[in-house]
Amino acid sequence: MIISKIGKVLINSAGNTFGFKVSAGKKSEHRKNKPWFDHDCKAARSEFRKMKRNKNKSPFHRALVSDAEKRYKNTMNKAHKKYRSDFRKKMDDLKQKDAKEFWRLLNENKSTAQPKIDFDKLVSYFKELNSDLRDDTEEQQIETRCCVMFRYLFKLAQETTFRSRSLDKMKSILDNCGFSYLWSFQNTSPNIKSIIKQRLEDQFTQSWSGKVIPE
């Protein structure tokens, strides 16, 4: 009893002298959804997360999780496309009727995020990439650049979000030149360099008719 009273006296004296530390609880960071992330997106995300949290490892359940993920991605793609389409229509209308609101929305939706890649490192990387090509023969340079270009375009062509008439045109030209065939057999064809060079000389320049105007 006496020890408890002495302890309270010491604690109160210390508190009056130095004060008490009040620890503030951590505020939970709530990430704001994108403006196009509507009710359907939330429902699809909830379904996917619910399926993913299930510990069932059977092939049937994995298939269900995969289907839920596909539905979630498709729902987001549709919502994003619809939002962009509606936004473009709204901006076209405001451009004629309310210039002040037009510029306000335009600046509000402007991205201010900066790339995380260091610019000097990026320049250095491409310098090294080009220096590696200088020692190659003309055929090797053609093969390297064309394979990289086709692989990049092929990857973009699979992303429905980035489809455009320009991309389809370039992909069609490369396909007509036989690049899809050449790419498939690049590891087994012994004459890949000469074939690519010949394809370029024979077809590529003739296939490019006019200028592709981006959307």
Q: Which two tokens stand for residue 181?
A: 């065939």
In whole angstroms, give the CA distance from residue 52 to residue 148.
Answer: 36
| Backbone dihedral region for residue 98 (phi beyond 0: left; psi -120 to 50: alpha; all else: beta) | beta
Local structure of 23: helix, strand or coil: coil
Q: Which helix (H) or strand (E) holds 41?
A: helix 39-53
For the question of whether the overall pTM of this predicted structure is more than 0.85, the answer is no
In whole angstroms, give the CA distance from residue 153 to residue 159.
Answer: 10
Q: What is the pLDDT of residue 45?
A: 92
In whole angstroms, give the CA distance from residue 188 to residue 166.
Answer: 31
Q: What is the pLDDT of residue 204?
A: 47
Q: What is the pLDDT of residue 47?
A: 92
Local structure of 98: helix, strand or coil: coil
Q: What is the pLDDT of residue 59?
A: 87
Instruction: Please identify which residue in the block is written with the tokens 């060079």.
Output: 197
Identity of residue 74: N
Digits of tens for pLDDT over the chain (215 positions)?
Answer: 555 666 666 566 656 655 556 555 555 556 778 888 999 999 999 999 998 898 888 888 888 889 999 999 999 999 999 988 888 888 888 888 888 888 887 777 665 555 555 656 655 655 565 555 555 555 555 555 555 555 555 555 555 444 556 556 655 655 655 555 555 554 445 555 565 556 555 554 454 444 444 44
Task: Check if the beta carbon of residue 71 is closer than 8 Å to that of residue 44.
Answer: yes
Q: Please provide the size of the chain in residues.
A: 215
